[in-house]
Amino acid sequence: MKIIKRKAEFTGYTVLGGSAQEEWRCPNIKCGIHVEKGWTCCPVCGQKVKFKERPEGEADRMIKIDAAVKKQIVDKG
């Protein structure tokens, strides 16, 4: 069985320690595990993975999330 490269699905962002990271999901329907951008295949099912551009508007959303995180850090400090 030949595994064809498919595009990972963008699911959102994870904010850890003041920095936001992109979240991507394995394109294999039976797997669906979180994969890091830059990986060539899924570590669980072996599905070859390609990464596409984030959906439109996500760049603006990322800027808003980053600003909100920085504000929280300043308010706590």
Residue 49 lies in a domain: yes
Task: State the residue range of the domain holding 58.
Answer: 6-76
Looking at the DSSP assignment, which residues form a beta bridge with residue 12? 23
In a domain, 1, yes or no: no
Which is higher by pLDDT, 35 or 60?
A: 35
Answer yes or no: is pLDDT of 64 > 50: yes
Q: How far apart are CA 15 and CA 64, in angstroms?
A: 12
* 41 within some domain: yes
Please count the structural domains in the chain: 1
Average pLDDT over residues 36-43: 88
Q: How confident is the model at residue 38 (pLDDT cuts 50, 70, 90)?
A: confident
Asked whether 67 and 23 are in contact (CB, 8 A), the reply is: no
Across 3-69, the runs of DSSP E, i.e. the strands, are 6-7, 9-16, 19-25, 34-35, 49-50
Q: Is residue 69 part of a domain?
A: yes
On the 0-12 / 13-18 / 19+ scale of CB atoms within 10 A, 65 is middle
